């Protein structure tokens, strides 16, 4: 669909969804973002848009010489990784509980972490250089090096997941969603607090949108820590993917894997748009430059899409990061029961207890409609449906 443009306070707001579907809280956030004097051109709003902490989830914000740490969010570098395997539906057993249990044993979920470090040269060759950079992070997190080491290759909780999926050709895929774990959260919280104390942020319409300005020590410190955390998140997904693939190798010794697809959807990138160099913050959005492969998941009982970007300049070459929530976790827990969860995840080997009711498919927007609303941003490469879903 063509975007709808509504007037903002400093720049306009362009939405790839009907304005009346955006909750009032989210629309107020978007207006506050549009009022930032550093905002460039317009705020691009993806079809999975919903209210979020600091900035709206599903927003793409380009700024000249400024970046807002809260607009990035506390799960720096959160994103998706997927890989197609040589397995087919008929290769999988009728009872998938053993496969799910194998994944849960291999990858700690929720608050759990590895007892020993899980990464190594099978994942990347430059681990020593990466970890040496830990000592250059802001001093407030340096006592957490042990936690960061043992959380590398772990899932976390909330909407993070690991799935075994089938595409429409009955090919088996592995897909997972996670970010920079506890260390990314600590770094984000520290820099958000620093930004909120700066003098130039005292008159903003929302203190959560406090920014760092170019050519300042605070901006330099944030970007240093930010890029390290984004790298941590990417590596975290790489390690987890290898652990899950090892589970498949043990159960299916001849399995082969294609080249993985990986994409951040909470991050900052230095890019050129409309002829100017800007800092682009995608919070709940993926890069969708022409030819870029991306992943747009639905919920734990619906389906997901592998997409290829069309490079639409109006979206700052971006697309949605998922279906997007249509109700809060609290609302979902009040509205739905374990029986509802079991019904909506029928046919999926997954948790069906009260601890994940807030992740029920009914709490999310219709993924097919979300995809349809961004046909000018991405083209569909494959549609997936999960048969196993592991959540924290």
pLDDT, residue 87, reads 98
pLDDT band at 161 (very low <50, low <70, confident <90, very high): very high
Using an 8 Å Cβ cutoff, are 299 and 363 in contact?
A: yes
- Confidence (pLDDT) at 31: 97
Across 292-320, average pLDDT: 97
Q: Give the domain CATH number at 372.
A: 3.90.1860.10
Is 316 annotated among the ligand-binding residues? no
| CA distance linking residue 84 with residue 379, whole number of Å | 18
Residue 94 burial by Cβ neighbours in a 10 Å radius (0-12, 13-18, 19+): exposed
Question: 26 in a domain, yes or no?
Answer: yes
pLDDT digits (tens, 9 = 90+) for 232-246: 999 999 999 999 999
Decide if 349 is inside a domain.
Answer: no
Is 51 annotated to bind ligand?
Answer: no
> Residue 359 and residue 158: Cα distance in Å, rounded?
8
* 247 falls within a domain: yes
378 lies in some domain: yes
Tally of domains in the chain: 1
pLDDT tens figures, 321-354: 999 999 999 999 999 999 999 999 999 999 999 9
The stretches of 197-297 forming alpha helices (DSSP H) are 217-251
CA nearest neighbour of 179 among 230, 128, 104, 143: 230
Catalytic residue among 42, 150, 264, 321: 321
321 is catalytic: yes
User: What is the average per-residue pLDDT within 60-69?
Assistant: 97
pLDDT attached to residue 336: 98
Is 353 part of any domain?
no
Identify the domain containing residue 152 by its residue range. Answer: 4-326+364-391
pLDDT of residue 53: 84
Note the pLDDT of residue 333: 97
Q: Is 304 annotated as a binding-site member?
A: yes
Residue 1 has pLDDT above 90, yes or no: no
Alpha-carbon span 324 to 322, nearest angstrom: 6
Radius of gyration for the alpha carbons in the chain, expressed in angstroms and rounded:
20
For residues 46 and 15, give the distance between their C-alpha atoms in angstroms, rounded to a whole number: 6
In tens, the pLDDT along 368-389 reads 999 999 999 999 999 999 999 9
- Tell me the two tokens of residue 80: 């998706």
Q: Is the pLDDT of residue 118 over 80?
A: yes
Q: Is 190 annotated as a binding residue?
A: no
Q: Is the pLDDT of residue 54 over 90?
A: no
């Amino acid at each position: 669909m063509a975007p709808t443009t509504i007037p903002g306070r400093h720049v306009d707001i362009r939405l790839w969804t009907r304005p009346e579907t955006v909750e009032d809280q989210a629309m107020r956030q978007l207006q506050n973002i549009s009022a930032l004097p550093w905002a460039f051109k317009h705020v691009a709003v993806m079809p999975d848009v919903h209210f979020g902490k600091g900035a709206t989830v599903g927003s793409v914000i380009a700024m000249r010489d400024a970046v807002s740490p809260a607009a990035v969010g506390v799960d720096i570098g959160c994103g998706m990784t997927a890989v197609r395997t040589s397995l087919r539906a008929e290769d999988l057993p009728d009872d998938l509980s053993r496969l799910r249990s194998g994944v849960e044993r291999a990858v700690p979920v929720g608050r759990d972490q590895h007892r020993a470090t899980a990464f190594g040269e099978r994942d990347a060759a430059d681990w020593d250089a990466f970890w040496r950079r830990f000592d250059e992070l802001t001093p407030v997190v340096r006592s957490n090096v042990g936690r960061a080491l043992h959380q590398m290759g772990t899932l976390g909780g909330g909407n993070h997941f690991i799935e075994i999926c089938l595409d429409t050709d009955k090919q088996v895929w592995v897909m997972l969603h996670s970010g920079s774990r506890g260390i990314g959260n600590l770094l984000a919280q520290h820099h958000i607090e620093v930004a909120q104390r700066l003098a130039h942020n005292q008159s903003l319409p929302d203190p959560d949108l406090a920014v760092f300005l170019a050519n300042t020590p605070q901006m330099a410190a944030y970007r240093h820590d930010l890029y390290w955390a984004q790298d941590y998140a990417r590596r975290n997904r790489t390690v987890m993917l290898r652990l899950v693939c090892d589970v498949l190798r043990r159960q299916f010794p001849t399995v082969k894997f294609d080249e993985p697809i990986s994409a951040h959807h909470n991050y900052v990138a230095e890019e050129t748009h409309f002829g100017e160099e800007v800092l682009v913050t995608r919070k709940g959005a993926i890069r969708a430059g022409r030819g870029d492969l991306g992943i747009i998941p639905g919920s734990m009982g619906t389906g997901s899409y592998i997409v290829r970007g069309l490079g639409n300049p109006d979206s700052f070459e971006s697309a949605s990061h998922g279906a997007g929530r249509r109700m809060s976790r609290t609302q979902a827990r009040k509205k739905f029961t374990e029986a509802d969860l079991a019904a909506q995840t029928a046919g999926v080997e997954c948790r069906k207890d009260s601890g994940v009711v807030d992740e029920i498919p009914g709490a999310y927007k219709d993924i097919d409609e979300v995809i349809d609303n961004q046909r000018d941003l991405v083209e569909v490469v494959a549609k997936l449906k999960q048969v196993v879903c592991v959540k924290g």
